[in-house]
Amino acid sequence: MNRHAAPQTGGLRPAAFRQESGTMKMHAPRRVGIKTRLLGGCVLARLRHGDRGQALVELALSLPVLLLLLTGIMTFGIALNNYVQLVDAVSVGGRYLAIDRLNTTDPCNDAATAVKNAAPGLVRQGTLTFTTTMFNTLAAGGGQLGSYSGASCSSSSNTTGAAGNLVQNGSVQLTVTFPCNLSVYGYAWPSCTLSASITELVQ
């Protein structure tokens, strides 16, 4: 029997042996602490979850402000676009009135139709309000001949009433208003009305 044989340790891991100067010394195996590894993993996991939670809190605090700013910019952008459409459409209606003398018995309706055709998007969104005013610039002081509210000012002939007030070399003024909507998350601007006006020389 070999006296230097390693002792049996049953189910345990055999001890490590090292021979020094003809003698045999036994050293216990080095083991990594399982609890230490588990503890370190838990700490790192909590740190990761903590960073993720902080990011979620920051997002929850900043998201309402960002949405409010974005919605406000979009709302004002829509209002500005509506105003540009209104100005262009009123310009079309004014030019139509300038050449409508002796061609119609209802110049107000002709101008309103021209404006609506030039801005169909505004017609779908709300109600346009029309005011048509005729002036005789040849008279002393450039007297006003008539002012008509609404989309119609029908006359019995093209030389009487509103149609007759379209005097050659006189002027006609067309004013159109449109209600705009500046509501942002339930808060609406106290008063918002878009208005455009044009004055043309009657041909």
Distances (CA, A) of 95 to 70, 79, 80, 118, 134: 38, 25, 23, 12, 14
What is the pLDDT at residue 15?
A: 47
pLDDT digits (tens, 9 = 90+) for 108-155: 999 999 999 999 999 988 899 999 999 987 766 668 889 999 999 999
Of residues 172 and 192, more confidently modeled: 172
pLDDT digits (tens, 9 = 90+) for 152-187: 999 999 999 999 999 999 999 999 999 987 877 777
Q: Are 122 and 85 in contact (CB under 8 A)?
A: yes
**Beta partners for residue 195, in sequence order:** 177
Q: Are 110 and 96 in contact (CB under 8 A)?
A: yes
What is the pLDDT at residue 51?
A: 65
pLDDT digits (tens, 9 = 90+) for 58-75: 888 888 889 888 988 988
What is the pLDDT at residue 17?
A: 45
In the predicted model, is pLDDT for residue 12 greater than 50?
no
Q: Distance (Å, rounded) from C-alpha 27 to C-alpha 15? A: 6
Q: Distance (Å, rounded) from C-alpha 151 to C-alpha 109? A: 5
pTM for the full model? 0.68
What is the pLDDT at residue 64?
A: 87
What is the pLDDT at residue 173?
A: 96
Name the helix (H) or strand (E) containing 133: strand 129-135
Of residues 29 and 69, more confidently modeled: 69
